[in-house]
Amino acid sequence: MINMNMLPGYMGQGLLLNLSLHTAQAVPLSEEMTASYLGGRGFGIPLMKDWINTDPFHSDMPLLFNTGPLNNTGVYSSGRGSLVSRSPLTGTLFDASFGGRFAHCLKGAGFDYLSVQGKSSTPVVVKIRDGKATFVPGDQLWGKTTVDTHDALKKDGATAVIGPAGENRVLFANVCIDGRYFAGRGGLGAVMGNKNLKGIVVSGNKKPFRADTKRINTANREILRLFKASPVLYGPFGIRRLGTPALVDVINARRMMPTANFRKTYFRDARRFSGVELARQEKRGGHGCYACPIGCKKTMKGEGPAPEYESVSHFGALNSNNDLSAIIRANDLCNRLGMDTISTGSTIACFAEINGANLNGDSICSMIQDIACRKGEGDILAAGSVRYAKGRGRPDTAMAVKGLELAAYDPRGAYGMALAYGTAQRGGCHLRAYPVGSEILRRPVPTDRFSFEGKARLIKIAEDANAAADSLVVCKFGLLGASLEEYASALSGVIGVEISSDDLLCIGERICLAERYLNSLNGFSRKDDYLPDRFYKEEGSSGAGIDVPAISKRAYDEALDRYYRARGCDSNGIPLNLRGIEG
Ligand code: SF4
């Protein structure tokens, strides 16, 4: 029988922390929030809409750690959470998905979300255990790396901490979860640092009520079967075995590996840092976020997490660097100092182009240190590539959309990815939609990667599906095997109400529209949905029978028009029907 005092799948309350006053207050979860936005990224809409015009470094700016209805229910790959605020790097509403155990433990402590506001006058650590929050001095930990801070706090539960980059408000500082997972993009670590919040530790043994465990188990069996049937996940070159660097060979072979700050799309030495090469330097086996059978995370034989594909590619090809040991060092430094590897690698590549610098592994690592400590030129680079390039009179060299540096897929090699970079509401991101799945990995169906035909609708639907996944919260890699159908069945089992994949897509659509609307309140519109001019003017590295021409801006414009129509926006990219979001 359903416990009517608590909506199944949820803990029924959020926790508001006021760092200025060092107070904590539990607040009930509204039915409107769960029904309209599910959780995770979706909760960012109602919890952020009153703060969307606030400066990210104003003490009132909320920093949200959100869980979803599938966290802590045993559903496969549901160990992730969502960190939400307004990005100091992009100025957009921003959510960053994170792994580890933190989301699981936050629900274990009795909360569906944590909202941190205010600013402590001195460094502080917040410990949350079984529904109670205590504020302890963080002075001893200030200045320490993410790993050292995690080590100091981990005995008390799952951790979310910042490193020196967050303390120094580097605009692409990240938040480190459990010492080795990262809420990486958008600089939300700087928002945390601005609040003088060094870390949060959370623990507890509570469990959300689950309405129908038999149905959950059936859905789980199907999810696992589909994971195992997916070559991308469980194949001999899939991410379970090789981690995400499995992509190095295939992306380079397709001549779409961003090289020399996106001036080329092929890196001759990429084999030196392929997934197979990297695997030789990793410990055997993998591990993963809570409740994930895929376990795509790898560990170096030396120490620390192995780099992801994006980090390998950006500290490698993007910086014309073929030294695998330097790539591993650069990745490790970013992790310890608490900086997003994509924005760091891209900002350094922008610096190299402007200054005509030939960087080697040592100079890349020394620049990473300087950025995190805001030393010398590092102080200017800490503002990201767009501000740096503009300040140096070379805005054409910043490879970013809406201020967020592009990921490791050159858009000239996959036109769906080009459109997805442009329309992504948090900036040049590959995780709002991942058309590389169909354009390169041929999953679920192959599409022509050098054509915009059919891509507008495909991107719109993928954005909706990913918004739903980010709100459940489940790992988007899971969608390379299972589909929303299986997760809808799992959710139906958890909450005891029949939910279909179409229902989830509807919620995802509502979230995407709301994000677009909230960003429009800060002036974002069609003008912000374009790629850097380089991609419309310069061709990529053709060869081996593959032509990589510049993208036709006219064709991109037409695809953008089609996307706006599919998304329900006017020709300026503003939503036509806000369905109550604006209220
Ligand atoms: S696939 Fe990888 S990133 Fe996703 S939940 Fe599993 S371990 Fe975490």
Q: In which band, very low, low, confident or very high, does the pLDDT at 369 lie, cut at 50, 70 and 90?
A: very high
479 lines ligand 1 (CB under 6 A): no
Q: What are phi and psi of 182, to 5 degrees?
A: -140, 135
The pLDDT of 174-185, averaged and rounded, is 96
474 lines ligand 1 (CB under 6 A): no
Model confidence over 460-474: pLDDT tens digits? 999 999 999 999 999
Tokens of 222: 């199907």
Model confidence over 273-292: pLDDT tens digits? 998 899 888 887 777 888 99
The pLDDT of 38-59, averaged and rounded, is 97
4 pLDDT higher than 60: no
120 lines ligand 1 (CB under 6 A): no
292 lines ligand 1 (CB under 6 A): yes
Atom of ligand 1 nearest to the CA of 296: 2
334 pLDDT higher than 90: yes
Cβ contact 428:343 at 8 Å: no
Atom of ligand 1 nearest to the CA of 292: 6
pLDDT for the residue 300? 87
Cβ contact 224:293 at 8 Å: yes
Query: Beta partners for 128?
Result: 133, 202
Tokens of 213: 């465990």
231 lines ligand 1 (CB under 6 A): no
294 lines ligand 1 (CB under 6 A): yes
295 lines ligand 1 (CB under 6 A): yes
As a whole number of angstroms, the distance between CA 427 and CA 63 comes to 19
Count of helix runs (H) and strand runs (E) in the chain: 24, 14
CA atoms within 13 A on the CB side of 449: 26
Q: Which segment of 94-103, 438-447, 544-553 scores lowest on mean pLDDT?
A: 438-447
296 lines ligand 1 (CB under 6 A): yes
pLDDT for the residue 242? 87
Query: Beta partners for 114?
Result: 15, 65
pLDDT for the residue 88? 98
The pLDDT of 516-536, averaged and rounded, is 97
Residue nearest atom 4 of ligand 1, based on CA coordinates = 475
Pick left, alpha or beta for residue 40 (phi over 0 → left; psi -120 to 50 → alpha; otherwise beta): left
Residue nearest atom 2 of ligand 1, based on CA coordinates = 296
pLDDT for the residue 158? 98
Model confidence over 187-211: pLDDT tens digits? 999 999 999 999 999 999 999 999 9
477 lines ligand 1 (CB under 6 A): yes
Residue nearest atom 8 of ligand 1, based on CA coordinates = 289
- Neighbour-count burial of 358, counting CB atoms closer than 10 A to its CB (0-12 exposed, 13-18 middle, 19+ buried): exposed
Q: For the chain, give every domain's residue range.
A: 13-203
Atom of ligand 1 nearest to the CA of 77: 5
Cβ contact 578:510 at 8 Å: no
Distance 288 CA to ligand 1 centre (A): 5
Topology of domain 13-203 in CATH is: Aldehyde Ferredoxin Oxidoreductase;  A, domain 1 (3.60.9)
The pLDDT of 496-505, averaged and rounded, is 97
154 residue type, one letter: K
297 lines ligand 1 (CB under 6 A): yes
Atom of ligand 1 nearest to the CA of 288: 7
pLDDT for the residue 442? 80
Tokens of 337: 């100092």
Give me the chain's average pLDDT, please. 95
pLDDT for the residue 580? 55
426 pLDDT higher than 50: yes
Atom of ligand 1 nearest to the CA of 295: 7
Q: List for the chain the helix, strand, coil content (%; round to 5).
A: 45, 15, 45
Distance 511 CA to ligand 1 centre (A): 23
Model confidence over 85-109: pLDDT tens digits? 999 999 999 999 999 999 999 999 9
Q: In which band, very low, low, confident or very high, does the pLDDT at 548 lie, cut at 50, 70 and 90?
A: very high
Give the torsion through C-alpha atoms of 120, 115, 45, 11, to 10 deg: 180
Task: Supply the angle between the helices 415-423 and 455-472 in degrees, to the nearest 10.
Answer: 60
Atom of ligand 1 nearest to the CA of 287: 7
227 lines ligand 1 (CB under 6 A): no
Model confidence over 220-241: pLDDT tens digits? 999 999 999 999 999 988 899 8
pLDDT for the residue 582? 52
290 lines ligand 1 (CB under 6 A): no
Q: What is the 3-state secondary structure (H, E, C) of 129-183?
A: ECCEEEEEECCCCCCCCHHHHHHHHHHHCEEEECCHHHHCCCCCECEEECCCEEE
Residue nearest atom 7 of ligand 1, based on CA coordinates = 288
Distance 77 CA to ligand 1 centre (A): 6
Cβ contact 217:144 at 8 Å: no
181 lines ligand 1 (CB under 6 A): no
The pLDDT of 378-405, averaged and rounded, is 98
- Among 182, 475, 476, 480, the mutation site with the greatest number of ligand 1 atoms within 8 A of its Cβ is 475
- Among 182, 239, 477, 480, the mutation site with the greatest number of ligand 1 atoms within 8 A of its Cβ is 477
Q: What is the 3-state secondary structure (H, E, C) of 250-280?
A: HHHHCCCCCECCCCECCCCCHHHHCHHHHHH
Find how far residue 232's CA is from the centre of its chain: 20
